[in-house]
Amino acid sequence: GAVVSQHPSRVICKSGTSVKIECRSLDFQATTMFWYRQFPKQSLMLMATSNEGSKATYEQGVEKDKFLINHASLTLSTLTVTSAHPEDSSFYICSATRTGTGTQYFGPGTRLLVL
């Protein structure tokens, strides 16, 4: 199979703090990982494309200095929400693409609540 994990599954933080979310491909190597944000009853919106060993590519309207992405290995990408505010509260989901294929496998998501 192709298993993708995320940690933490949910986090509550105070406004102004930073939160780091990890995305791991457990049984395959992923050159590319994607980060999505999903608000309640809405679709998945691509935030950025994370490529191992290079800078992430951000979608229009996503602040790269606020959502820091690091993809240091073929199995791990991290998303750090810096200086989080209540409007950043959302469900963050990563996906990983097995190198050489086009299929995206999704992590279980991280529910972020900023108070």
Partner 1 sequence: GENVEQHPSTLSVQEGDSAVIKCTYSDSASNYFPWYKQELGKRPQLIIDIRSNVGEKKDQRIAVTLNKTAKHFSLHITETQPEDSAVYFCAASKSVSSGSARQLTFGSGTQLTVLP
Select 60 or 86, whichever has its Cβ closest to partner 1.
Answer: 60
Select 76 or 82, whichever has its Cβ closest to partner 1.
Answer: 76
Residue 23: partners with Cβ closer than 8 Å, 6 or more residues away: 4, 5, 6, 33, 35, 76, 77, 78, 79, 94, 96, 107
CB of 83 to partner 1, least distance (A): 26
CB of 78 to partner 1, least distance (A): 18
Q: Under a CB-based contact definition with an 8 Å cutoff, are residues 96 and 25 in contact?
A: yes
Q: Under a CB-based contact definition with an 8 Å cutoff, are residues 92 and 34 in contact?
A: no
Q: What does the binding site for partner 1 look like in residue numbers (CB under 8 A)?
A: 31-32, 34, 41-46, 49, 91, 93, 97, 102-109, 111
Select 67 or 105, whichever has its Cβ closest to partner 1.
Answer: 105
